Structure 1
C-alpha cells in the first residue's frame, strides 16, 4: 500500500500546487469555481478531502503547510512538506486513498493504435476523419 500512496501523491502534486496557487490558504474551504482551470479544482478537492478528514491538529498543520506553499510556490521543500501531509493522511485513512484516486484523471497503461491499409486512420480519440476522394464534410 505504501507504493500506491506514493504514486497517488506524485500524481496529485501538480493539482495540489495549482490549487494553492489559485486559491492560497482559502483552498481548504473554498467552493469549486468554473472560472478556475480544472487542474486547480481537482487540487482543491484533494486538499479539502484531506483537510476534512483530519482532526484539529492535523487541519492546523495542513493549513500551515499550504500557507508556506502559497508564500513561495517555487519552494520545493514546502511542496514536499505538503505532499508529506497528504501521505500521512493517506496512511491513517485507507478510505481516503480510494476517494483521492477517484478524483485524479485516469492515467497509465500504454495505448497502441494501429492503422493498416490504404487511407486508414489510427487515433486514440478522433472527431471527424475523412479518407476518401472528393468528400464534402458538412458542419
Structure 2
C-alpha cells in the first residue's frame, strides 16, 4: 500500500500534458500499451481520473491491456501515463491503442519524471430522436 501511495504522490506533483481527446461510442474501452521504438526498459503506471489503476507495467513489443468502464457521471474521463523510469533511452514513450468496440485510435505518449502524458475520453451522446 505504501508503494501505491508513493506513486500517487509523485503523480500529483507532475504536470499533466494533454495529448489528445477521443470521442467514443461505447461506455467501455480497451487500452493497449506498447513500447514505442526500442525496447529499453520503460516502466509505467496507469491512472484513470487521477486514481492509480495499474502500477509497475513494463512496456514491451507485446501490449498489456487495461479494460476500462467509463465513469458516466463525468463529462470526460482522463487516462494518464506515469513514467516510473525513463528506460535507457529517455523519455518514456509508448504507443497506446484505444478500442471502443467499433473504432480503433492510436496515440503516441511521452512522459518524463516531471510530466504525465494524458488523454481525455468523452462518450458520444446519443440523439434521442434517432431511437425508434
More helix as a share of residues: 1
* TM-score, normalised via structure 2 length: 0.24
* TM-score, normalised via structure 1 length: 0.23
Which has more radius of gyration? 1
More strand as a share of residues: 2
Determine which structure has greater relative contact order: mean sequence separation of CA pairs < 8 Å that are 6+ residues apart, divided by chain length: 2
